[in-house]
Structure 1
Amino acid sequence: MALLPPRWSYSVLKAVAEVLADTSDGLTGREISDLLLRLRMEDPAPNATKRERLTEAFVARQNKDLSSKRIITFIVTAMEPVRYRRQPELFTLRQDRLNEHLVFVGMRVNDEGKVAKGPIAQTLDEASRIASSIRDELHRRKCHSEVLRYCSLEVLKKSHFHACFEATKSIFDRIRGLSGASGDGAALVDAALALGQSGVPLLAINLLQTQTDKDEQTGFANLVKGLNGLYRNPMAHDPRINRRITDDELLEVLTMVSMVHRRLDGVSKTSGGSS
């Protein structure tokens, strides 16, 4: 006879309930009612807030079973992928948030929505390292808000190809906004960032007083062109199935795009421009 999964602490039960009953991204009150009824779980606090209600339901059931088995069943039922066919990003969001807490009991929600065994964390540092998702890692790296604004949905959908594409497009959209120049790609970079014959670009990332300053400006322009040539242009023409982006590459690309946006934060607009 298989051993029943052990009981979880009140803190873990409460944390899981808070994710699933989150005010903004959690289950609705009706969905909670339907799931409790379907799984034949007592609803001891039907008039409480969603979070308190689900917490009390978890506690009551675990006390009855002396096991977390029915709470695991609730999670699996709530995370059935078919529920998220129109909102795959919501699945990933809940999955990531659940895993931040389940790591303390050596479990995780996998991509099939099942609760599986995983490494167990004893400390907050261990939990952060084990449960960290791409979204969490980007926040840990303090990724620029412009990057997240343009591609957070693609990151949550785990669409790495489109996340890289949208992130690199954000650079050129921002350059147009800061400089007032039109165009796109390398031509836009030349118009807004290149020294040109006048030696004064529309957007200067430094004082341009020394040769080092000018070299840095040119290097920055070339870096933006490089990102355009390496990611944006190919992705605009190649089918997604022909271009696989790994988790590590996605983080590296978004970190680089974040760095570009931070340099753009400090640009000054001049009266010059390439000629």
Structure 2
Amino acid sequence: MIRKALNEQSLKALCDVLADTNRGLTKTELSRLLNQCKITIVDDGKSSNGFTYTLGLNKRDWLYNCFANEVNSYQSLDKIYIFIEKALNPINYTSEEKRDKYNFILEGINKALLLVGLAVTKEGRLIEAVQAKTLDEVDRRLNNLRRLLYNRAIHHEVKKYCINDYLRKDYYDAVFEAAKGLAERVREITGLTTDGSALFQKAFAKNDPYIFFNSLKTESEINEFIGLKELLESIFHLVRNPVAHTPKINWKIDETKALDILTLISFAHKYLDECHRVPRS
């Protein structure tokens, strides 16, 4: 349940993005979402009697009035939070021509939400986040995150497990979830069900492996095979095990260290991309 509230300024900022003239949702799309969320659609003031025509409110002000009426009528933001999640459900933007609109709305919405301690994930889920105090911090957390992950070519499996925590600036959970993702990846490839060192030792057993990415015929191939196993084990010893057994308040990590760890985990995933399950009789 979301406990943090939106104020009048936040609602206005959200409407400015959602109903942006060129890159936001159309009036038809907004009306459909309002109906789905059971938010009353208020009159936009548009009228025509055959002789005169009144333009009425623009999309942004009309949407704000719909939201304000909902809050004033029911003293609740629940339906507006549902509206935000529905508006940013990725299923609505699967075509290539809609990707720019999605990216614009997601970033714009998060710029407004981070200032009140909320954020929308790439899955379209509204979450509570560490509240940003300044616009510079908002830009750093949104734009810098995307740029840093892009520059480091972070593997998509790492992003899948940690991006939500990273957005919240919860680096502890970000690296923990990403490290656990390595074990899950090995289980998916091998069909094994164990965890940690026991999993890696069995998966990469030199004489009876469950996983392979080379022929294990030359000394170099054997060394590379063993090296990947030891890399996976090292990540668990350095990251996963300490985090699992250390109280969160005592395990300090900053953004730079988090990115270094995520880069290492990403490197391991890129090796796992080349791995296959050994056929077993």
TM above 0.5, yes or no, is yes
* 1:161 and 2:172 matched: yes
Q: Is the 8 A contact 1:135 1:155 kept in 2?
A: no
Deviations 1:98-128 (A, max 9, x none): xxxxxxxxxxxxx754545x6xxxxxxxxx9
**Structure 1 position 233, deviation (Å):** 0.9
1:61 corresponding residue in structure 2: none
Deviations 1:150-190 (A, max 9, x none): 11111111110000000000000110110011210000000
Q: Is the 8 A contact 2:115 2:134 kept in 1?
A: no
Distance in 1 (CA, whole Å) between partners of 2:112 and 2:183 is: 43
1:201 to 209, 219, 225: 209
**Structure 1 position 131, deviation (Å):** 7.5
2:225 corresponding residue in structure 1: 217
1:246 corresponding residue in structure 2: 254
Distance in 1 (CA, whole Å) between partners of 2:209 and 2:272 is: 13
**Structure 1 position 144, deviation (Å):** 1.3
Distance in 1 (CA, whole Å) between partners of 2:146 and 2:195 is: 29
In 2 relative to 1, CA 77–183 (structure 1 residues): closer, same or farther, beyond 3 Å?
Answer: closer
Name structure 1 gaps, 5 residues minimum.
1-15, 34-42, 55-74, 92-110, 119-127
Aligned ranges 1:51-130 → 2 under 5 Å: 80-81=115-116, 84=117, 88-90=118-120, 113-115=132-134
2:125 corresponding residue in structure 1: none
Distance in 2 (CA, whole Å) between partners of 1:252 and 1:162 is: 15
1:176 corresponding residue in structure 2: 187
Q: Is the 8 A contact 2:212 2:277 kept in 1?
A: yes
2:158 corresponding residue in structure 1: 147
Q: Is the 8 A contact 1:164 1:231 kept in 2?
A: yes
In 2 relative to 1, CA 210–77 (structure 1 residues): closer, same or farther, beyond 3 Å?
Answer: closer
In 2 relative to 1, CA 18–206 (structure 1 residues): closer, same or farther, beyond 3 Å?
Answer: farther
2:148 corresponding residue in structure 1: 137
Identity rate, percent = 27
Q: Is the 8 A contact 1:165 1:232 kept in 2?
A: yes
2:266 corresponding residue in structure 1: 258
SS of equivalent to 1:259: helix
SS of equivalent to 1:133: helix
Aligned length: 191
Q: Is the 8 A contact 1:164 1:250 kept in 2?
A: yes
* 1:227 and 2:205 matched: no
2:278 corresponding residue in structure 1: 270
1:58 corresponding residue in structure 2: none
Distance in 2 (CA, whole Å) between partners of 1:190 and 1:76 is: 45
Q: TM-score, normalization: structure 2?
A: 0.55
Distance in 2 (CA, whole Å) between partners of 1:51 and 1:136 is: 33
In 2 relative to 1, CA 143–80 (structure 1 residues): closer, same or farther, beyond 3 Å?
Answer: closer
**Structure 1 position 243, deviation (Å):** 0.6
In 2 relative to 1, CA 157–213 (structure 1 residues): closer, same or farther, beyond 3 Å?
Answer: same
Counterpart amino acid of residue 178 in structure 2: A
Name structure 2 gaps, 5 residues minimum.
1-14, 26-32, 43-54, 65-109, 122-129
**Structure 1 position 135, deviation (Å):** 3.8
Counterpart amino acid of residue 186 in structure 1: S
In 2 relative to 1, CA 158–79 (structure 1 residues): closer, same or farther, beyond 3 Å?
Answer: closer
Runs of 4+ off more than 6 Å: 51-54, 75-78, 128-131
Counterpart amino acid of residue 187 in structure 2: R
2:203 corresponding residue in structure 1: 192
Q: Is the 8 A contact 1:45 1:53 kept in 2?
A: no
Distance in 1 (CA, whole Å) between partners of 2:275 and 2:16 is: 46
Q: TM-score, normalization: structure 1?
A: 0.56
